[in-house]
Amino acid sequence: MSKNKLKKFAELESFKHVIQPTFDELDTNFYLKGKWRSDFFKNSFPITLELGCGKGEYTIELAKEFPQKNFIGIDIKGSRMWTGAKYANENNLKNVAFLRTRVDMICKCFEKNEVDEIWITFPDPQIKRKRVRKRLTHPNFLKKYSHILKPKSKIHLKTDSQFFYGFTLGVIASEGHMLDDATCDLYNSLVKREHLHIKTFYEKMFLKEGKPITYLCFRLNCQD
């Protein structure tokens, strides 16, 4: 492991807004489960998650734009997360947290109905058929989201992958979920929301290459 990565990991340990539970801790009643508002953020604001947040750019920009909401970026890659975490630390963003864990562990991190909204931004499309269950909009993942989301909460997806966009549309249709918005070319569409102008490093790169950005907004029909 490079010295730069080791330095980043050491810094992450020092950031109060970065939570890095072990798998054992998640298996034994994680201390923030059901208590993110009261014990971490110390407010009653809505909670939005960014799944597979990478460098945390979307989490940071949303937090700056919506100070009356709490935002949690989730990713297993600490060296990527460090970028957003360091910015939040240096700029004293009180409504931001970063949770270093796998997305499939999400039900061990949040209580039923604790989350108000989910963002999935430019995930790995996992194109190989044998990795279909790794796709973050696979029905198995949506079932996990349905447990932690409040009823009728929105899930947003932005991706440059037409394949992943089509796969997700198929899942929404086959599972009977409620589609609010869908466009295969966001910036040449009529879909306008106050937060869609935010662009990650990869999104800017894809746009520079001439790739259209797709966007979906949907709600789950079977939240338990």
**Catalytic residue set:** 124
Q: Are 16 and 39 in contact (CB under 8 A)?
A: no
Q: Is the dihedral of CA 118, 156, 45, 85 positive or negative?
A: positive
Three-class SS of residue 156? strand
Half-sphere exposure in the Cβ direction for 27 (13 Å, CA): 3
Q: Are 105 and 30 in contact (CB under 8 A)?
A: no
SS (H, E, C) 188-212: HCCCCCCCCCCCCHHHHHHHHCCCC
**CA-based nearest residue to 45, from 73, 71, 19:** 71
Partner residues linked to 211 by β-bridges: none
The encoded tokens of residue 191 equal 């879909």
